[in-house]
Amino acid sequence: MADTTATQEHVDWKDVSDKLQNLLRLRTLPIGMKLFETVEEMEAIPKIRRPRKHHTTCQIVTQARQVGWTVGVTINNLMPGNCGAVIGLKEVPPDTLDGSRMAGVWFKDKEEAAKHQAAMTRVAPGKYHAMAVSPLSSNRLDPPDIALIYGTPGQMILFINGLQWKGYRRYQFGVVGESACSDSWGCALASGEPSLSIPCYAERRYGGVADDEMLMALRPQLLPKVIEGLEMLSKAGLRYPIPNYGIQMDPSEGLAVSYSEMGKK
């Protein structure tokens, strides 16, 4: 079930982006992703770029988060296989779904590879024919369907802490292994649920994801709630970067502030 606590009011996405970057000291831009039912809708976005050759979806995402571009694609711009299928721009090709493309490389045989394909979360095909990504700060996708935030494990756990500060709930995230785009934007687009992923080999090799980066995908309407939580955590002294207390120090004083005494004031 999707989280229903997000505000429906208009949001200044540049302000949201600036606050996230300030609170978490993110190295790359928070971005938005949006699906379109027609190519014309996508092409109407101001200053949109169109790739001239085939790309992976993770390359397109990185062009937005690292370079600040607004980029739009159709199925003709994406590599064959899962890229377009994860975001609902086409059906999964039979030679991908039956495991032929990954058998003997990522998995022992076609049977194991087919299990992996069956485990992937994808947007249902047929409705959408284009997709665009853009920095949240550009306000060009208003609103995007999902937001994508890359960060270190330390940044991601504080992000989740901010999300849980008010209206607490437990989150569970899955891992399909290779094709981790299914775990991130695939899950978030298909379910509306926040999804934390460990970017896969392909995202790191082709999408330029750093070795220490993880990816949070979620509905952008939840970001003001995250920011509120992060600001309140910061007031309590819980902020990024997380200072190391020391493995040989008596932690009593620090624990008293973070876990005991604060609740009594």
User: Looking up tokens 């995908």, which residue turns up?
Assistant: 217
Q: What is the pLDDT of residue 10?
A: 81
**For residue 92, is pLDDT > 60?**
yes
% residues pLDDT > 70 (the chain): 94
CA 218, CA 146: separation in Å to the nearest integer?
5
Q: DSSP assignment, residue 87?
A: T
Please give the Cα distance from 223 to 30 (Å, whole number): 11
Q: Quote the pLDDT of residue 254.
A: 87
pTM: 0.92
pLDDT of 36 over the 80 cut: yes
The residue type of 220 is: P
**What confidence tier does 261 reach under pLDDT thresholds 50, 70, 90?**
low
Q: What does the pLDDT read at residue 124?
A: 97
| Order of strands, sheet of 31-36, starting from the edge strand that comes earlier in the sequence | 71-73, 130-135, 31-36, 146-151, 214-218, 195-197
Q: Which pLDDT does position 81 carry in this prediction?
A: 85
Can you tell me the mean pLDDT for 144-170? 98
pLDDT in tens, 202-214: 999 999 999 999 9
Reply yes or no: is the peptide bond before residue 199 cis, omega within 30 of 0: no
Q: Count CB neighbours of 249 within 10 A.
A: 10
Q: What are phi and psi of 32, to 5 degrees?
A: -115, 155
The answer to whether the CB of 56 falls within 8 A of the CB of 133 is no
Mean pLDDT of 227-250: 95
The pLDDT tens digits of the residues spanning 212-228 come to: 999 999 999 999 999 99
**Tens digit of each residue's pLDDT (9 = 90 or more) over 142-151:** 999 999 999 9
- 37-49 pLDDT, tens digit per residue, is 999 999 999 999 9
What residue type is 223 in one-letter code?
A: L
Numbers of helices and strands, H then E, in the chain = 11, 6
- What confidence tens digit (pLDDT) does each residue in 126-142 have? 999 999 999 999 999 99
**pLDDT at position 9, please?**
66
Mean pLDDT of the region 29-37: 98
Length of the chain: 265
Residue 257's pLDDT is: 85
Q: Can you spell out the DSSP letters for 24-82?
A: H--SS--EEEEEESSHHHHHTSTT-B--SS-B-HHHHHHIIIII---EEE-GGGBPTTH
What mean pLDDT do residues 65-89 have? 96
Q: Which two tokens stand for residue 168?
A: 């607490």
Mean pLDDT of 60-87: 96
DSSP conformational letter for 103 = B
Confidence of residue 5 (pLDDT cuts 50, 70, 90): very low
Q: What is the residue type of 11? A: V
